[in-house]
Amino acid sequence: RKEVEQDPGPFNVPEGATVAFNCTYSNSASQSFFWYRQDCRKEPKLLMSVYSSGNEDGRFTAQLNRASQYISLLIRDSKLSDSATYLCVVNTGGFKTIFGAGTRLFVKA
Amino acid sequence: EAQVTQNPRYLITVTGKKLTVTCSQNMNHEYMSWYRQDPGLGLRQIYYSMNVEVTDKGDVPEGYKVSRKEKRNFPLILESPSPNQTSLYFCATRPLHTGIRGDQPQHFGDGTRLSIL
């Protein structure tokens, strides 16, 4: 079993749709969680950190469920520019970082 | 401007010819890390460093070396490159200290595309 698992997709959605991604992690000692986006094999860019209480940034909402060991990302009112690969990132104890393989999103006009 | 600079951006070379990919950051961050990205596998951590002269293995360290003689630089060394090291490589950095809500996020360089023939 991979330490961090994501549905690879692709998710194909129309503009304006709401889409949700989930990510599960296996190490219960994991401490910090992030969502990054990556465009066409460019460098990953931080979308948002994920906090225990849940957090929102505009159209994006991230949530963490420590008991079930998963994090989620909700994108509301999808834009064409949201088309990208979304990476779930987990910092385990001891300074290691584990990336999920990514979920592809295509937003269509 | 905060920057993580990798060089070269692209390199095609042959098996066995030693190469070094440089990474430099201007943010005074303690933590630096190298990743490789392969189709279907996502980013995998090769080595990381918590500070000068402090390095440790990630998940895929075989065939790689690193050094951290200065805080701003973290070169990745392939002593004897092989075709299975053909990949897209990223360097990343972040502050070592943990904030109230956890670790700070990492900032990535633009990537280095290596082809080993």
Q: Could you say which residues from 49 to 88 on chain A have a Cβ atom under 8 Å away from some Cβ of chain B?
A: 49, 51, 87
The confidence score (pLDDT) of residue A95 equals 85
pLDDT digits (tens, 9 = 90+) for A65-102: 999 999 999 999 999 999 999 999 999 876 899 999 99
Cβ–Cβ under 8 Å, residues B87 and B36: yes
pLDDT at A101: 93
Instruction: Note whether B94 and B111 are within 8 A (CB).
Output: no
Q: What is the pLDDT of residue B69?
A: 97
Q: CB–CB of A87/B37 below 8 Å?
A: no
Q: Which residue of B has its CA nearest to A42?
A: B110
Q: What is the mean pLDDT of chain B?
A: 95
Q: How far apart are CA B10 and CA B21, in angstroms?
A: 10
In contact, A49 and A58? CB cutoff 8 Å: no
Distance CA A48, CA A73 (A): 9
Q: What is the mean pLDDT of residues B61-78?
A: 98
Cα angle value B32/B36/B40 (rounded, 5°): 140
pLDDT per residue as tens digits for the range A8-47: 889 999 999 999 999 999 998 888 999 999 998 799 999 9
Residue among B91, B117, B112, B75 at smallest CA distance from B34: B91
Residue A25, pLDDT score: 95
Over residues B10-24, the mean pLDDT reads 97
CB-based contact A31 B102, cutoff 8 Å: yes
User: What local confidence, expressed as pLDDT, does residue B3 receive?
Assistant: 94
Strands B107-108 and B87-94: antiparallel
- Coil, strand or helix: which one is A78? coil
A13 in contact with chain B, both atoms CB, cutoff 8 A: no
Q: Which of A22-31, B14-23, B27-36, B98-107 has the lowest mean pLDDT?
A: B98-107
Residue of B nearest to A49 (CA): B105
Average pLDDT over residues B44-51: 96
Name the residue among A49, A95, A100 with its Cβ closest to that of B50. Answer: A95
Is residue B100 pLDDT above 80, yes or no?
Answer: no
CA distance A15 to chain B (A): 27
Is B74:B6 a contact under the CB 8 Å cutoff?
no
